[in-house]
Amino acid sequence: MTIGEALYEERQKLGLTQENMVKGIINKGHYSKIERGLENISIDTLFRIILKHHIDISDFFNKVKDNYYTFEDKKAEELKQRNCQIFCVNRFFS
């Protein structure tokens, strides 16, 4: 999921229009293009939107992180999770 898609999903959950989502932060036209993946968003603007609407930052970034990981990063994350699962199971049965 892209950042724009995640913002759209959060906006829908909040029941907001695009204008209400970004009021006082950026203009609606620019935001509309961000949701559609036509323009990028600055980290400052993204944080301002997320914090304004009390969106859980960790949940938000978990939604989008796979879209921004390299292939190697994804493999390393999978290996890390598998090792953690093995460790937790071994520790439980020890």
pLDDT tens per residue, range 45-88: 999 999 999 999 999 999 998 888 788 887 888 888 888 777 76
Q: What is the mean pLDDT of residues 10-14?
A: 98
What is the predicted pLDDT for the residue at 49?
A: 98
The residue extents of the domains of the chain are: 3-69
Give the class (CATH, top level) of 3-69.
Answer: mainly alpha
Q: What is the mean pLDDT of residues 30-46?
A: 97
Residues with Cβ within 8 Å of 2's Cβ and at least 6 positions away in sequence, in order, are 37, 64, 67
Which residue has better confidence, 84 or 22? 22
